[in-house]
Amino acid sequence: MKIALVQINPIIGDFSYNSGKIISWANKAREKGCDLAVFSELALCGYPPQDLLERQSFLADHDKALQDLINGISGIGIICGHLEKHTGDNGNPLHNSASVIEDGRIVFTAQKRLLPTYDVFDEARYFEPGSHSQTYQYKGLNLGITVCEDIWNDKGSFPQKLYATDPISDLVSDLQAKGGKLDLLVNISASPFHVGKENIKQEIFTKVCRNNNVPLIYVNQVGGQDSLLFDGLSMAMDNRGNIIARAEKFKEDMIILDTDTWQGEVHGQQIQEVLDAGATYGEPVSVLQETAAVYDALVMGVRDYARKCGFSKGVLGLSGGIDSAVTCAIACEALGEENILGVAMPSPYTSDQSIEDAKELAENLCCPFEIIAISSVFAAFKESLGNVFAAFENNASRKIDITEQNLQARIRGNLLMALSNKEGSLLLSTGNKSEMAVGYCTLYGDMSGGLAIISDVPKLMVYQLAQYINRNKEIIPKNIIERPPSAELAPNQLDQDDLPSYDILDAILKAYLEQNLSVGEIAALGFDRQVVQDVVRRIRINEYKRKQAPLGLKVSSKAFGYGRRYPTAQNYRDEGA
130-151: pLDDT as tens digits: 999 999 999 999 999 999 999 9
CATH of the domain at 387: 3.40.50.620
C-alpha to C-alpha distance for 267 and 432, rounded to whole angstroms: 33
Strand 36-38 with 77-85, pairing: parallel
Is 222 inside a domain boundary?
A: yes
**Is residue 399 scored above 80 in pLDDT?**
no
Number of helices (H) and strands (E) in the chain: give both, helices first.
Answer: 17, 20
Annotation marks residue 148 as catalytic: yes
Distance, C-alpha 543 to centroid of its chain: 21
Alpha helices, H only, 391-458: 402-423, 433-438
**C-alpha span between 148 and 297 (Å, rounded):** 21
Pairing of strands 426-429, 216-220: unpaired
Tell whether the model's pLDDT for residue 439 goes beyond 50.
yes
Q: Out of 2, 21, 112, 558, pick the active-site residue.
A: 112
Supply the range of the domain harboring residue 418.
293-494
DSSP β-ladder status, 216-220 and 235-237: antiparallel
Residue 163 and residue 136 share a domain: yes
Q: Are residues 246 and 384 in the same domain?
A: no
Regarding whether 163 and 120 lie in a shared domain, the answer is yes
Report in angstroms the alpha-carbon separations of 124 from 51, 84, 225.
12, 15, 20
Q: Are residues 217 and 310 in the same domain?
A: no
Residue 297, in any domain of the structure: yes
Q: 472 and 374 in one domain?
A: yes
Residues 87, 194, single domain; the answer is: yes
Task: Give the closest residue to 77 by CA, choosing from 106, 40, 98.
Answer: 106
Cα–Cα distance, 430 to 315 (Å, whole number)? 11
Give the count of domains, the chain.
2
Q: How far is CA 147 from the centre of its chain?
A: 20
Global pTM reads 0.94
Q: What is the pLDDT of residues 460-514, one digit of tens each?
A: 999 999 999 999 999 999 999 999 888 777 777 777 778 999 999 999 999 999 9
Q: 322 and 433: one domain?
A: yes
Among left, alpha and beta (phi > 0; psi -120 to 50; other), residue 449 is left
At 206 the three-state DSSP class reads helix
* 262 and 312 inside one domain: no
If you write DSSP's letter for every residue of 210-277 in order, what string do you get?
HHHT--EEEEE-EEEETTEEEEB--EEE-TTS-EEEE--BSS-EEEEEETTTTEE-B-SHHHHHHHHT
Quick: pLDDT tens for 103-138: 999 999 999 999 999 999 999 999 999 999 999 999
Buried residues in 5-26 as b, exposed as e (16+ CB within 10 A) = bbbbbbbbeebeebbebbbebb
Q: Which of 321, 349, 346 is nearest to 490 (CA)?
A: 349
C-alpha 174/C-alpha 94 separation (Å) is 25
Band (178; pLDDT cuts 50, 70, 90): confident
402 in any annotated domain: yes
252 part of the active site: no
Give CA–CA dist 539/546, Å, rounded: 10
Q: Of the candidates 440, 471, 494, which is a domain's last residue? A: 494
Together in a domain, 205 and 320? no
pLDDT at 532 over 70: yes
Check whether residue 342 and residue 209 sit in a common domain.
no
The phi, psi pair for 538, rounded to 5°, reads -65, -40
Same domain, yes or no: 234 and 302: no
Catalytic annotation present for 309: no
The answer as to whether 449 is a domain residue is yes
Q: Is residue 258 part of a domain?
A: yes
CATH of the domain at 263: 3.60.110.10
Rounded CA Rg of the chain:
26
Options 2, 21, 34, 41, the catalytic residue: 41
Question: Which residue among the candidates 45, 148, 367, 441 is catalytic per the annotation?
Answer: 148
Q: Is residue 51 part of a domain?
A: yes
